[in-house]
Structure 1
Amino acid sequence: MNSNIKWLDIWRDRVARVKRGVGLVISGLLLVVGILLSVALLPELPGLVSVALAGDGEAARTLFVCVAGIAVCVLQWLWRATIYPELRRDPPQKETS
């Protein structure tokens, strides 16, 4: 009976590690998307702002969507332990003897 429990614990550990790795990969990819979006937006920013201030609704919408996309990507990285619960660090277990 004890060997069955060990086997189950081993698989639970492996599944937990895989879920943690997948969460890290997804959050990392979204952070890279946010960085690429901000790099793409940076050269166009002065022109977009000036045209949006002149009254062009399409430029204002584009600017808003880009800034919102960057914010979502960065915030999901900062709050990744909340969004991906498997990334939370558990407090160290105290061993009782």
Structure 2
Amino acid sequence: MNTNIKWLATWRVRWARVKRGGELGLSGMLLVVGILLSVALLPELPGLVSGTLAGDGDTARTLFFCAAGIAVCVLQWRWRAAIYPQLRRDTSQEETQ
């Protein structure tokens, strides 16, 4: 019976590491997407702003969605511990107990 509990504890720690790595990978990938979106938006920004000021609805919508996408990507990275539950705890404390 003791070996079953030990085995289960070992797999719990491994699963926690895998989940933590996956969540860090996903949050990092979304940050990279936000960075790439901002780099792609930079050359088009003057045209988008002038089109928006001229009253073009499609240009204003494009500018809004790009800015919202960048904000979502950056904010999820900034607050990743609140979004991804596995990142709230320090797994090194779980291993020592």
TM-score norm. by structure 2 comes to 0.90
> Cα distance, 1:46 vs. partner?
0.9
Aligned to 1:87: 87
Distance 2:9 2:71 in 1: 39
1:1-97 map, 5 Å: 1-90=1-90, 92=93
Cα deviation, residue 4, structure 1: 1.6
Question: How many residues get paired?
Answer: 94
CA distance, structure 2, for counterparts of residue 73 and residue 34 of structure 1:
5
TM-score, structure 1 normalization: 0.90
Which is richer in helix? 2
Q: Deviations over 1:38-90 (max 9, x none)?
A: 00000110111011101000000000000000000000001111110001134
What SS is found at the alignment partner of 1:26?
A: helix
**Counterpart amino acid of 2:84?**
Y
- Tell me the secondary structure at the aligned position of residue 11 of structure 2: helix
Runs of 4+ in 1 over 2 A off after TM superposition: 89-93
- Deviation at 1:5? 1.2
Secondary structure of 2:76's partner?
A: helix
Give RMSD over aligned pairs.
1.7
- Whichever residue aligns with residue 18 of structure 2, its letter is V
Identity %: 76
